[in-house]
Amino acid sequence: NAGVTQTPKFQVLKTGQSMTLQCAQDMNHNSMYWYRQDPGMGLRLIYYSASEGTTDKGEVPNGYNVSRLNKREFSLRLESAAPSQTSVYFCASRETGMETQYFGPGTRLLVL
């Protein structure tokens, strides 16, 4: 039981490049989330998916797209990376009816 896994762990991009951050959970949770964490700040929600087939914007969605591929997987795509997207990205999942979110280990992204 791996919980929430994220790939890659670390990535360096040049401005304008695209990439997809992968997230998978093996806890059969319906809800999945993408957050970003910038220095000196708490996590801010980018997008979330309440169930398979649905996605919604969070607090800071600009510059990102998401895909809920199936119940297990929720990916985050940067179409044209910008230095302002340098951050640590966390994926999380939650069981319906429960409040606790379980987080992946994070992906550190550096955009030059």
Partner 1 sequence: AQKITQTQPGMFVQEKEAVTLDCTYDTSDPSYGLFWYKQPSSGEMIFLIYQGSYDQQNATEGRYSLNFQKARKSANLVISASQLGDSAMYFCAMPQGGKLIFGQGTELSVKP
- Site for partner 1 contains 102 (CB under 8 A): yes
- Site for partner 1 contains 103 (CB under 8 A): yes
Give the DSSP letter of residue 38: -
Q: How many alpha carbons lie under 13 Å from residue 3 in its C-beta half-sphere?
A: 10
Q: What is the largest CA-CA distance in the chain?
A: 41
Nearest distance, CB of residue 102 and partner 1, angstroms = 7
Nearest distance, CB of residue 44 and partner 1, angstroms = 7
Q: Is 1 exposed, middle or buried (0-12, 13-18, 19+ CB in 10 A)?
A: exposed
User: How far apart are alpha carbons 104 and 112 in whole angstroms?
Assistant: 25
Residue 68: both structure tokens together: 């809920």
- Site for partner 1 contains 33 (CB under 8 A): yes
Positions in 43-72 near partner 1 (CB under 8 A) = 43-45, 48, 50, 58
Residue 99: both structure tokens together: 């409040």
Nearest distance, CB of residue 16 and partner 1, angstroms = 27
Positions in 80-99 near partner 1 (CB under 8 A) = 88, 90, 92, 94, 99
Interacting residue ranges for partner 1, rule: CB under 8 A:
31, 33, 35, 40-45, 48, 50, 58, 88, 90, 92, 94, 99-106, 108
